[in-house]
A and B are shown apart, each in its own frame.
Chain A
């Protein structure tokens, strides 16, 4: 099973880009990488996901390395409300067999 590794914490200045790394060196070719965030004790909120190509949506960009062993979540203009714990998740199986492996998460602190 693929596992993910994230730094435990990061700081970012408000208005600057936040780049959150994730290592998933044992990921297999048909597994997706998902990013979620959690603010306080609320339910995790979906941010973005990808398989091989880089992805962008209204919240963030996801950069996946060519060998797929790592990825970076980019919040282009971080705000104070982006302060949260960010989870990088690999979803196992070609047909969504269900098992999710969470990393320990990165606590992002956005500072004024």
Chain B
């Protein structure tokens, strides 16, 4: 089954403790991206990647890192999480062909205390 898998689904952590949210897709997609969703603000793009070793900033990249060492994986790294990074996070992927649709993961609810 074609899917985007995020882990964990829920995560509670404390300020300053490094964490990684994993994202994996099984569709051989070149493009992957991370979003955060906050009440009243909709979905905002954090980072995206057009292919292996190619990443770029979205609208809200501060406080986040990403890497794309393999085509299927696109982890989101918070080196020193802060409470303002408490949010619902989504990973998405698609092929790079024009007009292709995005597939979203089921989300990671992160709480930073």
Contact = CB atoms under 8 A, between A and B. Distances in A.
Given A44-B90, A95-B96, A100 B109 contact: no
Contact of A34 (B43, B95, B102): B102
Contacts of A105: 42
A45 B103 CA distance: 8
Contact of B33 (A41, A42, A46, A100): A100
Interface residues of A, number: 24
A112 interface: no
- Which label, helix, strand, loop or mixed, suits the secondary structure of the A interface? loop
Contact of A99 (B58, B90, B105): B58
B50 interface: yes
Interface string B49-81: 110000010100000000000000000000000
Interface residues of B, number: 31
Contacts of A97: 50
A46 B98 contact: no
Interface in B95-113: 95-107, 109
Contact of B107 (A36, A41, A94, A103): A41
8 contacts: A36-B104, A41-B109, A44-B102, A46-B103, A87-B43, A96-B98, A98-B56, A99-B48
Interface of A: 30, 32, 34, 36, 41-46, 49, 51, 87, 94-100, 102-105
Interface of B: 4, 31, 33, 37, 42-45, 48-50, 56, 58, 88, 90, 92, 94-107, 109
Q: Which 8 A-B pairs have the closest CB atoms?
A: A43-B104, A98-B48, A46-B101, A102-B43, A96-B96, A44-B104, A43-B106, A104-B42
Given A98-B56, A100-B33, 9 more contacts: A34-B101, A41-B37, A49-B99, A94-B98, A98-B33, A98-B50, A99-B45, A99-B48, A103-B42
